[in-house]
Amino acid sequence: MGIVNLTPDSFSDGGRLTDLDAALVHARQLIADGADILDIGGESTRPGAAPVSAEEEMRRVLPLIQALAAEGRTPLSIDTMKPQVARAAVAAGAGMWNDVSALRFAPDSLATAAELGCDVVLMHMLGEPRTMQAEPVYADVAGEVAAFLAARAEAALAAGAARERIWLDPGIGFGKHLTGHNLPLLAGLERLTALGYPVLLGASRKAFIGRLDGDAPPDQRLGGSVAVTLAGAARGVAMVRVHDVRETAQALKVWAAIEAAGSA
């Protein structure tokens, strides 16, 4: 899953894609680099991020979704918490709703997911982006995240969503201490994959990688991002959400070839 952030304030690439032409160039490059799906977002969910209106989100994302859907080159995902935005994005051509709030943001989130019938990603997050890093506490982070997501999946099923459309995301960096929670959660991903839903892992360029490497800035976290991808693949995740598609795809191809040779 290639990341396309149409935001001025995302932690790694905010402000880079300021117009439709630039966004199209970036999206097409991600496809050429090997992206199986593009995740398009118009509101930053970095720690401390301020919310934006549904109207502003749609102004940012809908022209790109419409343009890419018309080209028909790769599936599209809308990264939003708002049912109104998800509904408009699916109408414009998106086939997945990636929701960091796990369909808790609005009273009609669950019903909208069922109504749309698209794939939906349920992510774990404590609180909201503005507050999620304020003293998060877990006794067993992997177990608690798995239990939360299992409950959200059941809520989606009860609302009428199809089981085969549900994805889970552990929410690396969302209400987790940089290393004290993210690392044991990554080490325990089998507890999430064991629930029987495909798992999306999004850890590309995140702060805990920099913390482990002398506070490296976001544009110097490629090696750590690839390491997380391979750790996730070894634990059964179905898809990774990344900025650096070409390098990640190459790493996964080599890892898969080694695994295949070992089991031959």
Q: How far apart are CA 156 and CA 110, in angstroms?
A: 6
Residue 230 makes CB contacts below 8 A (sequence gap 6+) with 251, 252, 255
- Nearest residue to 170 via CA among 222, 109, 236, 215: 236
Residue 236 to residues 136, 203, 257, Cα–Cα distance (Å): 26, 15, 16
Beta strands in 60-108 (DSSP E): 76-79, 96-99
Q: How far apart are CA 156 and CA 122, in angstroms?
A: 9
Tell me the CATH number of domain 2-263, given options 3.30.300.20, 3.30.420.40, 3.40.630.30, 3.20.20.20: 3.20.20.20
Answer yes or no: are the C-beta atoms of 125 and 101 closer than 8 Å: yes
* pLDDT one-digit tens code per residue, 120-174: 999 999 877 766 666 788 999 999 999 999 999 999 999 999 999 999 999 999 9
Q: How far apart are CA 181 and CA 176, in angstroms?
A: 5
Q: Which residues pair with 166 in a beta bridge?
A: 120
Give mean pLDDT, residues 97-114.
97
pTM attached to this predicted model: 0.93
Q: How far apart are CA 263 and CA 213, in angstroms?
A: 34
229 sits in which H/E element: helix 222-234
* pLDDT one-digit tens code per residue, 31-49: 999 999 999 999 988 777 7
- Name the residues annotated as catalytic: 206, 241
Sequence ranges of the domains in the chain: 2-263
Confidence of residue 264 (pLDDT cuts 50, 70, 90): confident
Q: In this structure, how many other beta carbons lie within 10 angstroms of the beta carbon of residue 233?
A: 18
pLDDT for 49 equals 74
